[in-house]
Structure 1
Amino acid sequence: MYASKSSSERANKSDFKGDTQMNKWKASLALSAVSILAAGMVGCGSKNTSDASGNASASASGSNKFKLTVTSSMTDESRVEIMNETIKLFNQTHPNVTIEYNPSPWSEYAQNLKLAFTSGAGQDIVYVDDTMQQMLQKNNYLLDITDEVNSRGWADKQVPGAIEFQNARTPGKDYSVPFMTAPVVVYYNKDIFNKLNLTPPKTMDELNSIMAKVKEAGYVPMENGGMSNTPKMWSVFNMIYNQTSKDDVQQFYFQKGITPAFEKAIVSALTQVNDWQNSGYFRKEDASIDGNAVPTYYAKGQSAMVLGGNWDIPTYEGTKVPTGAFAFPAADASSQSHAIVNATDGGWALNADLSDEKKQAALDFIDTFMNPEIVKLWYEGGSTPTVKADMSGANASDLKKEVDQSIQSTEMGFFLDNAVPGLADIINKQLQMMSFHKTTPEQAWEEIKKEYNKLVLVAQGQ
């Protein structure tokens, strides 16, 4: 997720009942997450842990002072500041608990989690996307908090389906609780678009036309960051969603196999990205640019577009380039649905080895993220909360409003690299091979498929 993330994304049950149910979750989430913007939505009251204002009413269990370690990939200054404010509110009712927040960059986060837990030094509270949750849960490192989710009324406090979406691989059991979604949109330079008399595209043909015009005018059509290739990867995922059915996508994502329709869609998407590469639509130096440096290049004012998450809003606002946002376009004007890369960003999970005292305090820490005051802080910081709260008086930036407006009519789609741990690295490698003209889209897919099948067997313990 963050890329979180992607970069800023669920255990293996053979009798997964989520195909029809998941469609309902996705549709519900897509509508509900955006509807938070409307006036009048008020968070539901907690069943047993919150007062009327949403603050946790019980102090931490026991009177002894102790520490809770917390980690995530939220390292940027704005979100660290919001986290500090969240911790301050928590400490109003838990003065005996010290929260030690030590995030690490997305590029290192999964590995750091793995090393910490395998060495017996896993943090008390961790923020996990689907891939990380799979990795930790299958090794029994995470606490089953299903009873607490129910007793504390957390599902009622969130938009319908959010908790189920986050725990989709373990239906009926919850190991983490989300508090925001992670839509990926296309940020664009308004000055370049205005100068070339361009408007945000609604279809792939329109997007391709814009790319060509921008290139002809001497600008960089699309920033990417070829050492990580997340914009290319997300482009592929977006195109897959709009070229095949949800059932085909879900079979791939839930490790049930690969349909011919899915194969056709991914080869088509890889071919489109390859055509963009061959047409010079990415920066010439792209292969040597890390994804973290993309905003710096965008800030020079010579780049027309870049794919990024809503977590990037403060970053692109900070470039001082007049920036707008639009949803990655649908396949064509006749498309019956329009899905984009957008899922629950991640969720708070607990170390399975917590003492009772630490467990109760850690659960109260999660409950703090249900507080409308805290939801507002995260919303104003650029997040799209899954927690229901009245945001009518929130001080959101123009870009934040434009991002949320752009996704209102879209449906949610998984970060497909989270289908199985390790897949993101495989996709990135094949995108790099394509950019160096060492493989074709068809060959790239065959390698991705081969490694995907291997990783699925590992993930399923075979």
Structure 2
Amino acid sequence: MSKMKAGLLFVSLTVMIVSLFGCGSNGGDSAGSSSGGSSGSGKITLNVTSSMTDEARVNIMNETIKIFNKTHPDVTIEYNPSPWSEYTQNLKLSFNSGSGQDIVYVDDTMQQMLQKNNYLMDITEDIKSRGWIDKEVNGAIDFQNARTPGKYYSVPFANAPIVVYYNKDIFSKLNLMPPKTVDEFNTILSKVKEAGYIPLENGGMTNRTKIWAVFHMLYNQVPVDDINKFYFQQGITPKFEQAFTAALNQINEWDKSGYFRKEDASIDDTAVPTYFAKGQSAMVLSGNWVIPTFDDTKMPIGAFAFPQQDVNSKEHRIVNPTDGGWALNANLSGEKKQAALDFIDTFMNPDVVKLWYEGGMTPTIKADMSGVEASDLKRGFDQAIEGTQLGYYLDNAVPGLLDIINKQMQLMYFQKTTPEKAWNEIKQEYNKLTEAAQGQ
């Protein structure tokens, strides 16, 4: 959900960072995107966008550009991020109007949208010639470009794992340990509620925790082949349908049991860290991007992977895809393309990888992080996901599916539908959206 991922809890602010870096260019840029052309004096401007608008990541981006500055003083980077809630729409508007940015950060859904309209550049040969496949952890680039096997349109630099964060004080007071199975997780929810605490933060009617919990339960119960069929628009198997309905029933039981904050419907999802920091709630599902914010609360917070259905399962798959990838506007001139590829290459610089790691990210770039400073929560987070397998944000199966799933979650919350009816609506819309997507 990927994105829902990085950027979901980010502060909504508009930022422009302008920094100079050079690629030894000696000519103007006459072709390509309308964002940031050459000045005609040997300088190039590249417009870069992402959904990374929180202060911590903006600061890291600043530092990244400074490092790039040292070898690229003749190119101006204009970094114009927008909050996640507006990001997809902003990309649509900019590219449809012919003013698409030069370098864009895209998750699977956005990459599908832009690539199918021929807005993104095929950079397969550049990725191979620059040796980026070897610099990335095994499979990261292929995972990011899973829908176009053999062709690459974007390059990731981090993963976006979802874990369960928990209040260590509450767990200690109630003599609780991180659960190994979903049954143990349900027992903890009940005990926390009985003790007068809020078991789970959800984040308002965006239903982040609920949707990610559904995906985790599917990974616990459905064979990977069935997951892949759904994700790659090849249909829904009986096992997948049964597990999705069961997961929705579990969420419905959590709603009925009062496991979420009473005023949940009126909370904005960006306020989740603030509410969690009040010490009233025991747990919340979220990604690695909240680590700096949680560290700032000075609360004793731990992390564990969403538990398995069966502790004896051979695999423990969690929601953990690549966070997104840097992609290029298809209309870049050769000169701007080379500068843009150099910008992407900067994210593979070990010093830059360390910066993003220290900021809470989980790098897809191979680098030794053993001596890098990291908070106890960051170290605990890394331990929590150790040994787990990657899993997609399943709403990225087809553009528009997230809205459908969220709508049905809302109706369930207000007792306007049942889990079975909710699944039927999701299934029908999935089929419609898949048919439309394949017809493009």
Q: Give the TM-score normalised by the residue count of structure 2.
A: 0.92
Secondary structure of the 2:302 match is strand
- The alpha-carbon deviation at position 409 of structure 1 amounts to 1.9
Asked whether the equivalents of residues 78 and 314 of structure 1 are also in contact (C-alpha less than 8 Å), the reply is yes
Paired position in structure 2 for 1:323? 301
Paired position in structure 2 for 1:224? 202
Asked whether the equivalents of residues 8 and 270 of structure 2 are also in contact (C-alpha less than 8 Å), the reply is no
**Pairwise mapping of residues 252-401 of structure 1 onto structure 2 (< 5 A)?**
252-401=230-379
- The alpha-carbon deviation at position 220 of structure 1 amounts to 0.4
How many Å separate the matches in 2 of 1:66 and 1:336?
52
Paired position in structure 1 for 2:5? 4
Match of 1:112 among 90, 113, 135: 90
**Pairwise mapping of residues 104-143 of structure 1 onto structure 2 (< 5 A)?**
104-143=82-121
Match of 1:62 among 26, 37, 41: 26
Which amino acid letter does the alignment assign opposite residue 241 of structure 2?
E
- The alpha-carbon deviation at position 58 of structure 1 amounts to 8.7
Unaligned runs of 5+ in 2: 10-20, 28-41
Deviations 1:77-113 (A, max 9, x none): 1111110111111121111111010111111111111
Paired position in structure 2 for 1:46? none
Asked whether the equivalents of residues 311 and 382 of structure 1 are also in contact (C-alpha less than 8 Å), the reply is yes
Q: Give the TM-score normalised by the residue count of structure 1.
A: 0.88
How many Å separate the matches in 2 of 1:133 and 1:193?
41
How many Å separate the matches in 2 of 1:238 and 1:310?
16
How many Å separate the matches in 1 of 2:7 and 2:221?
23
Which amino acid letter does the alignment assign opposite residue 23 of structure 2?
S
Secondary structure of the 1:421 match is coil
How many Å separate the matches in 2 of 1:60 and 1:89?
16
- The alpha-carbon deviation at position 284 of structure 1 amounts to 0.4
How many Å separate the matches in 1 of 2:341 and 2:428?
41
- The alpha-carbon deviation at position 335 of structure 1 amounts to 2.2
How many Å separate the matches in 2 of 1:429 and 1:306?
21
**Pairwise mapping of residues 67-78 of structure 1 onto structure 2 (< 5 A)?**
67-78=45-56
Matched, 1:456 2:434: yes
**Pairwise mapping of residues 146-165 of structure 1 onto structure 2 (< 5 A)?**
146-165=124-143
How many Å separate the matches in 1 of 2:426 and 2:45?
43
How many Å separate the matches in 1 of 2:263 and 2:325?
36
How many Å separate the matches in 2 of 1:86 and 1:239?
37
Asked whether the equivalents of residues 341 and 412 of structure 1 are also in contact (C-alpha less than 8 Å), the reply is yes
Deviations 1:404-435 (A, max 9, x none): 10011211110001000111111110000000
Q: How many positions carry a matched residue from both structures? A: 414
Ranges of 4+ aligned residues in structure 1 off by more than 3 Å: 5-8
Relative contact order (C-alpha < 8 Å, sep 6+): which is higher?
1
Paired position in structure 1 for 2:398? 420
Distance 1:5 1:416, change over 3 A: farther
Asked whether the equivalents of residues 205 and 332 of structure 1 are also in contact (C-alpha less than 8 Å), the reply is no
Instruction: Provide the identity percentage.
Output: 71
Secondary structure of the 1:200 match is coil
Secondary structure of the 2:138 match is coil
Deviations 1:170-206 (A, max 9, x none): 0010000000001000000011111111111110111
Distance 1:276 1:6, change over 3 A: farther
Paired position in structure 1 for 2:149? 171
Asked whether the equivalents of residues 226 and 432 of structure 1 are also in contact (C-alpha less than 8 Å), the reply is no
How many Å separate the matches in 2 of 1:216 and 1:203?
20
Asked whether the equivalents of residues 2 and 73 of structure 1 are also in contact (C-alpha less than 8 Å), the reply is no
Which amino acid letter does the alignment assign opposite residue 4 of structure 1?
K
Asked whether the equivalents of residues 166 and 347 of structure 1 are also in contact (C-alpha less than 8 Å), the reply is yes
Asked whether the equivalents of residues 166 and 346 of structure 1 are also in contact (C-alpha less than 8 Å), the reply is yes
- The alpha-carbon deviation at position 6 of structure 1 amounts to 6.3
RMSD: 1.4
Paired position in structure 2 for 1:183? 161
- The alpha-carbon deviation at position 60 of structure 1 amounts to 4.0
- The alpha-carbon deviation at position 138 of structure 1 amounts to 0.2
Deviations 1:45-104 (A, max 9, x none): xxxxxxxxxxxx993433611210000011111111110111111121111111010111
Asked whether the equivalents of residues 166 and 176 of structure 1 are also in contact (C-alpha less than 8 Å), the reply is yes
Which amino acid letter does the alignment assign opposite residue 410 of structure 1?
T
Secondary structure of the 1:341 match is coil
Paired position in structure 1 for 2:31? none
Deviations 1:366-407 (A, max 9, x none): 000110110011111111101111112100111001001001
**Pairwise mapping of residues 9-88 of structure 1 onto structure 2 (< 5 A)?**
59-62=23-26, 64-88=42-66
Asked whether the equivalents of residues 7 and 51 of structure 2 are also in contact (C-alpha less than 8 Å), the reply is no
Which amino acid letter does the alignment assign opposite residue 231 of structure 1?
T
- The alpha-carbon deviation at position 304 of structure 1 amounts to 0.3
Paired position in structure 2 for 1:432? 410
Which amino acid letter does the alignment assign opposite residue 62 of structure 1?
N
Secondary structure of the 1:276 match is helix
How many Å separate the matches in 2 of 1:150 and 1:444?
45
Secondary structure of the 1:412 match is coil
Match of 2:179 among 177, 201, 226: 201
Paired position in structure 1 for 2:81? 103
Secondary structure of the 2:226 match is helix
How many Å separate the matches in 1 of 2:24 and 2:217?
48
